[in-house]
Amino acid sequence: MNEKEALEKLFQKSLFFLKFRLRTEKEIRDYLSQKVRKYKLSSIIIEQIIKKLKEEELINDEKFIEIFIEEKIQLKPKSILFLKRELLKHGVANKLIERYFSQNPLNDEELAYKSLAGRWQRWKKISWEKRYKKAVSFLLRRGFSFETVKKTIEKFKQEE
């Protein structure tokens, strides 16, 4: 296989990898590194493919952050700290994460409230003490501070 064929083959594989969800540059780079080692190709190909994917706007870490945060807020709200950690795990640069959150401030209390809303209704029939413990552990697992957890549960208690 010559270099041009290898480039095209890996480009097609990266498109297939991107088909299922948006990926960060690091995720694509890691994926391509595996393929380069497997097929014993030059690592220069990785840079060429990444450049091509960026030109076609198929890799954009800023867009990844935006979509990732929107999905998490809609489906499973978590604390800002938790969201930042997850983005770092995906390989997003810290400066991009900080820039996003400075331009799009989120409120941990609102996220905690939204996160607990459905569960709180389900737990209405159990005792206050058990409901409180369940709510605390649920919100702490989602990365919220204990202060935020207490305020959120107090809000639900006042609404009853």
Task: Give the model's pLDDT for residue 3.
Answer: 82
Q: How many CB atoms lie within 10 A of CB 1?
A: 11
| 83 and 112 within one domain | no
* Residues 121 and 99 placed together within one structural domain of the fold: no
Distance, in Å, from the CA atom of 50 to the CA atom of 157, rounded to the nearest integer, reads 52
Along the chain (160 residues), what's the average pLDDT of each consecutive run of 10 residues? 87 96 96 93 92 96 97 95 97 97 96 95 94 97 97 94
Measured CA angle at 98 (ends 31, 26), to 5 deg: 5
> Same domain for 135 and 153?
yes
Domain that holds residue 19: 3-55
The pTM assigned to this predicted structure is: 0.90
- The total number of structural domains in the chain stands at 3
| Secondary structure string (H, E, C) spanning 35-81 | HHHHHCCCCHHHHHHHHHHHHCCCCCHHHHHHHHHHHHHHHCCCCHH
